[in-house]
Amino acid sequence: MYILLTYDVSTVTKAGEKRLRRVARICMDYGQRVQNSVFECKVNPAQLVEFRGKLLSIIDTATDSVRIYHLGKNWEQKVEHHGKNDDYNIDAPLIL
């Protein structure tokens, strides 16, 4: 399944800056960064449970937030991108 993951992590404190780095690093394990705090991820149900659990173990729920949008089929046709573009086709073969 495809999900869109967005987060806000408060960086008022050093601890917050550390949480932000850790959250971003975890998201990179599960998907493609398309904007600073926006990731498109292709995960199966078990991976989603794992992914969510890792994020929730890090964020401070009083100051930070994570939103997960479950994207439907053909979601790629329903996304517009304008401006600087860092993303790639999540299904394209990875050439090493």
Of residues 21 and 67, the one with the C-beta less far from its own copies: 67
The annotation status of 91 as a binding-site residue, yes or no, is: no
Of residues 80 and 95, the one with the C-beta less far from its own copies: 80
Q: Side-chain half-sphere of 1: how many Cα atoms within 13 Å?
A: 14
One-letter amino acid identity for 30?
Y
Write down the least CB distance from residue 37 to its own copies, Å.
7
Write down the least CB distance from residue 82 to its own copies, Å.
5
Write down the least CB distance from residue 96 to its own copies, Å.
27
Tokens of 18: 């550390």
Of residues 80 and 91, the one with the C-beta less far from its own copies: 80
What is the sign of the dihedral through the CA atoms of 40, 44, 45 and 48? negative
Nearest alpha carbon to residue 37 among 77, 8, 68: 8
* 45 dihedral zone (left: phi>0; alpha: psi -120 to 50; beta): alpha
- Where along the sequence are the contacts to its own copies (CB under 8 A)? 4, 6-8, 34-38, 52, 55-56, 59-72, 75, 78-86
Q: Residue positions in the annotated binding site?
A: 8
Residues annotated within a binding site for Mg(2+): 8
